[in-house]
């Protein structure tokens, strides 16, 4: 009876809480961005084979990295500003004007980067259609105003839209892609789905915020305010999103496909933790500014939950890796098994570093120290990649990534411990 009373009384309240509602909405976005593509992997790897699949992975890795230029860390900096001023419509309007103006300038930058990549990258010189489809995918992702809705903790509508668009692209992949030369269509369909969701989301945003052409000074100010978070996002990409792209400089597309298959699977599992993190971020910023004790308690609980869940997921992948690869990737991808086991170690490491860094150090204003750690890790990963990847291929790239993330997590904990701000010690002092 007591259990039934708790379920009837507290469970509805839990799901009506903004934090829970936004976590559920972000889970829907993660399903659209990671789980839906995971559904297509068994089909695409068997149709495109390792070489064709490797080309898709290579282009997608570049697209994700390029989209970071357009996002410019606004999913962190603008979300933080909106969450702290959510009752001031005039201030929110100024934030929107500045961010959209900044993105207009950054769009020109992506064109220049793409032209350079097309000249400097042998695979893109050979397959220029993959290059420009990757650019379109980057634009579709980078212009999405999810940061606006996340800052207001009102993500339900954008989440449903994202799910619908991605689901349509999944259906079209099964209908349209029929042979090994159709890899370009994967990029085209993802770009189309992204543009649909982005355009509708922008329309929704401007129904709530008056549209005004941003001033150049506003755009520059937004770039200046978001610089630290962009610095973080761009450097962290050196050991997260750009790995398949980096690997493509040293090994044939088929080996990129082996690494990319394992990376896709590990990231899909890791995505199960992302909605919790994204939902916590605006709430943590709000609490740090208004109730430090509750903020410390939330950081402590997040660290226990995220870290524990990360270790469980990692152990499951290590044990079941051969079965996962056999089902999802199919024949010819047996070389992905050890890579997948290695990359599974990233799940608990990233879960812990996310809480220590994004959820705790950034709201506390330790942006500079945070960025130094991330920048150092990016340089370590790049150096190890150039050292390991030509010699050991996909496994060498995986080793570089895991070592870099280990550095990040341990460094963040040591910094917080020395400053007497680590969540475990902080809670003890509060009690």
- Residues 126, 120: Cα–Cα separation, whole Å: 11
Provide the pLDDT for residue 189.
94
Distance in angstroms between the alpha carbons of the first and the last residue of the chain: 33
Q: Is residue 381 part of a domain?
A: yes
Q: Is residue 265 part of a domain?
A: yes
Q: Is residue 12 part of a domain?
A: no
Give CA separation, 86 vs 113, 150, 282, in Å: 35, 11, 11
Q: Is residue 8 part of a domain?
A: no
- Residues 164, 147: Cα–Cα separation, whole Å: 19
Q: Is 226:77 a contact under the CB 8 Å cutoff?
A: yes
Domain with 411, as residue range(s), is 18-430
Interior/surface letters 88-116, b for 16+ CB within 10 angstroms, e for the rest: eeeebebbbbbbbbbbeebeeebeeebee
Provide the pLDDT for residue 134.
95
DSSP 301-319: HHHHHHHHHHHHHHHHHHH
The vertex-117 CA angle with 111 and 123, nearest 5°, equals 135
Provide the pLDDT for residue 32.
64
Segments in the chain below pLDDT 70: 1-35, 231-239, 275, 278, 424-431
Q: Is residue 9 part of a domain?
A: no
Please provide residue 241's backbone torsions phi and psi, each rounded to the nearest 5 degrees: -85, -25
For the chain, state the CA radius of gyration. 21
DSSP 286-302: HHHHH-HHHHHHHHHHH
Q: Is residue 368 part of a domain?
A: yes
Q: Is 212:203 a contact under the CB 8 Å cutoff?
A: no
CB atoms within 10 A of CB 331: 10
Cα four-point dihedral sign 102, 107, 110, 112? negative
Provide the pLDDT for residue 3.
45
Q: Is residue 3 part of a domain?
A: no
pTM higher than the cut 0.75: no
- Residues 266, 375: Cα–Cα separation, whole Å: 23
Grouping H, G, I as helix, E, B as strand and the rest as coil, residue 279 is helix
Q: Is residue 355 part of a domain?
A: yes
For the chain, the domain total comes to 1
């Amino acid at each position: 009876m007591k259990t039934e009373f708790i379920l009837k009384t507290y469970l509805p309240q839990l799901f009506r809480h903004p934090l829970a509602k936004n976590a559920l909405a972000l889970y829907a976005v993660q399903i659209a961005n990671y789980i839906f593509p995971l559904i297509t992997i068994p089909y695409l790897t068997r149709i495109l084979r390792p070489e064709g699949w490797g080309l898709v992975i290579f282009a997608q890795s570049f697209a994700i990295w390029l989209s970071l230029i357009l996002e410019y860390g606004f999913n962190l900096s603008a979300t933080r500003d909106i969450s702290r001023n959510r009752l001031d419509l005039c201030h929110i309007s100024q934030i929107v004007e500045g961010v959209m103006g900044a993105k207009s300038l950054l769009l020109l930058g992506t064109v220049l980067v793409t032209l350079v990549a097309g000249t400097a990258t042998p695979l893109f010189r050979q397959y220029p259609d993959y290059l420009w489809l990757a650019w379109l995918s980057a634009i579709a992702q980078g212009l999405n105003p999810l940061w606006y809705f996340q800052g207001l903790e009102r993500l339900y509508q954008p989440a449903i839209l994202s799910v619908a668009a991605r689901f349509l692209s999944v259906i079209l992949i099964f209908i349209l892609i029929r042979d090994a030369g159709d890899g370009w269509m994967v990029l085209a369909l993802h770009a189309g789905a992204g543009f649909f969701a982005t355009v509708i989301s922008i329309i929704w945003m401007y129904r709530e915020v008056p549209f005004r052409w941003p001033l150049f000074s506003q755009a520059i100010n937004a770039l200046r305010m978001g610089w630290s978070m962009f610095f973080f996002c761009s450097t962290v990409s050196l050991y997260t999103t750009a790995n398949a792209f980096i690997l493509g400089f040293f090994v044939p597309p088929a080996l990129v496909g082996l690494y990319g298959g394992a990376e896709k699977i590990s990231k899909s599992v890791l995505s199960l933790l992302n909605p919790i993190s994204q939902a916590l971020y605006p709430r943590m910023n709000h609490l740090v500014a208004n109730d430090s004790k509750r903020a410390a308690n939330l950081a402590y609980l997040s660290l226990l939950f995220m870290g524990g869940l990360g270790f469980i997921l990692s152990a499951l992948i290590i044990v079941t890796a051969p079965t996962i690869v056999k089902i999802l990737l199919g024949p010819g991808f047996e070389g992905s098994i050890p890579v997948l086991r290695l990359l599974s170690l990233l799940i608990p490491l990233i879960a812990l570093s996310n809480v220590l860094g994004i959820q705790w150090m950034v709201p506390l204003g330790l942006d500079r120290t945070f960025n130094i750690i991330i920048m150092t890790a990016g340089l370590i990963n790049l150096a190890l990649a150039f050292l390991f990847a030509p010699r050991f291929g996909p496994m060498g790239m995986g080793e570089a990534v895991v070592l870099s993330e280990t550095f990040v997590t341990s460094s963040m904990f040591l910094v917080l411990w020395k400053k007497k701000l680590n969540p475990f010690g902080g809670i003890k002092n509060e009690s």
